[in-house]
Chain A
Amino acid sequence: MKPIVKVILAINLTVLAVLVFAYPHLMVGPGKLIPGHKELNADCFACHAPFSGSASERCVVCHKPAAIGRLTTTGQAVTKPLTSTPFHQKLISEDCMACHSDHAGVKRFRQQGRFNHALLKTDTRELCHECHKSPSDSLHQQITGNCGRCHGQEKWAPASFDHDKYFELDRDHTVRCVTCHVGNDYNRYTCYGCHEHTPANIRRKHVEEGIRDFDNCVECHRNADEHDIRGGRGKIEHQRKD
């Protein structure tokens, strides 16, 4: 390699090294910082400890856990809170990086804004109503607490409620809830919400079989197979035959 090339190389690399120290956020930072931390752009060590990354201990210097969601870092009341209820005070540990990342480049590798209920203390985890409002439909208005019976903590919908236990929603029954549960009333149902079943043809079929009490369909039928009579009365009749 010619000496002049070596000199040019050395100058270029020196300039780059100077730029790294002068503009670390542009040269080595993994993307823009969140707007709230803009003033820390050139001060990497405000959040990062050498060779061990960013530590929660450095976050809580400004973001006091007791004040998160209530007061800003300058002591002003939070006027537009991101969540209906402050919850940072009820977390099992102060691990800020479990949910937050400040650089745009790092955020791509993490799902942002998704709350993980597993990070809440056990007793708080069951108190859904402290953070969530109950849905306004007739079914949910009658229920208080015990949300975990039908809903998981990963996501609200679909509910873990097992509809098959009452009636199997097979390919002939992939319909909107209101087709059977008119007015979103999940305590009641009707099988006459579609064109397939009408009171007249159901009556005719049952009378032919000598069945006169057929108002509560799911008492005998738990799926679309009319010969699979597993429901309460059907089961009883089968047992009698056996």
Chain B
Amino acid sequence: MTHSLWRQHILPFTLLLGLLAAATLAGDTLLHRLNLVWVGRYLGIPGTILIIGSLVYSLRKRQYITTGNPRTLLILHEFAAWLGSLMVLLHAGIHFNAILPWLATVAMGVNVISGMVGKLLLDRSRRHVRGQRDHFQLRGLSRPEVEQAVFWDAVTLDAMTQWRKVHIPIFIVFAVLSLGHIISIFLFWGWV
């Protein structure tokens, strides 16, 4: 698959996702080395605030609010959600204590991936497959031959379209589970 979807789009996407994983591991190691594990305990708060802040774009997109440049808000959405996710992942650490917050973390992970697929890849990938089809048609290939040539790209694109569909439902799951975790912390933890 020379110049395929994989090399041009999915690989960079995977690297960005890998960077999130690497930053999480590096941050976690650093906190342990510097004996600052307690900092990770509180990173859930700014992480959650950043993720909530990133929703301004979602509100703008659905026209619940009318101010703000959608393009700028999209960039902020991606950045705040990525950074917020990093903080929440550091907050979760590698310690498995309760099931609910871990389900929330998993939901957040799926949400980040589906969001990245949706916003980072889908449009470009659609353009890529369309371009490939045009390219093969111009070279005189028949329709079945064109479909044969773009088969794996089309399959990848279909899979990505399915990912996009889980973004909103999984966000609701993430939001509810996170809310449950936050309520339980307020309910049982002594803040004073």
Contact = CB atoms under 8 A, between A and B. Distances in A.
Interface of A: 1, 5, 9, 12-13, 16-17, 19-20, 26-31, 44, 48, 50-55, 97, 103-105, 108-109
A10 to B, nearest CB: 10
B189 interface: yes
A30 B97 contact: yes
Contacts of A108: 37, 95
B180 A17 contact: yes
B169 interface: yes
B176 A28 contact: no
Contact of A29 (B97, B168, B172): B97
Contacts of B176: 13, 16
Contacts of B101: 28
Interface residues of B, number: 26
Given A1-B168, A20-B180, A109-B38, A27 B99 contact: yes
Contacts of B100: 16, 20, 27-28
Contact of A54 (B41, B95, B190): B190
Contacts, number: 66
Contacts of B64: none
18 contacts: A5-B169, A12-B173, A16-B100, A20-B184, A28-B180, A28-B181, A29-B97, A31-B95, A31-B98, A51-B187, A53-B189, A53-B192, A97-B190, A104-B97, A105-B95, A108-B37, A109-B37, A109-B41
B173 A13 contact: yes
Residue from A5, A19, A30 whose CB has the most chain B CB atoms within 10 Å: A30
A22 B100 CA distance: 13
Contacts of A53: 188-192
B186 A51 contact: yes
Contacts of A50: 187
A97 B58 CA distance: 43
A21 to B, nearest CB: 11
Interface of B: 37-38, 41, 95, 97-101, 103, 168-169, 172-173, 176-177, 180-181, 184, 186-192
A19 B100 CA distance: 9
Contacts of B187: 48, 50-51
Contacts of B184: 20, 28
Contacts of B189: 53
Contacts of B173: 9, 12-13
Contact of A52 (B41, B177, B181, B190): B190
A1 B169 contact: yes
Nearest to A30: B97
B98 A30 contact: yes
A48 B190 CA distance: 9
Contacts of B172: 9
A29 B98 contact: yes
Contacts of A105: 95, 97-98
Contacts of A17: 180
Contacts of B41: 109
A48 B103 CA distance: 24
Contacts of A30: 97-98
Contacts of A103: 97
A16 B190 contact: no
Given A5-B169, A51-B186, A109-B41, A16 B97 contact: no
Given A53-B190, A105-B95, 8 more contacts: A17-B180, A20-B180, A28-B180, A52-B191, A54-B190, A55-B190, A108-B95, A109-B38
A19 B180 CA distance: 12
Contacts of A28: 98, 100-101, 180-181, 184, 188
Given A12-B173, A16-B177, A28-B181, A44 B98 contact: no
A130 B103 CA distance: 51
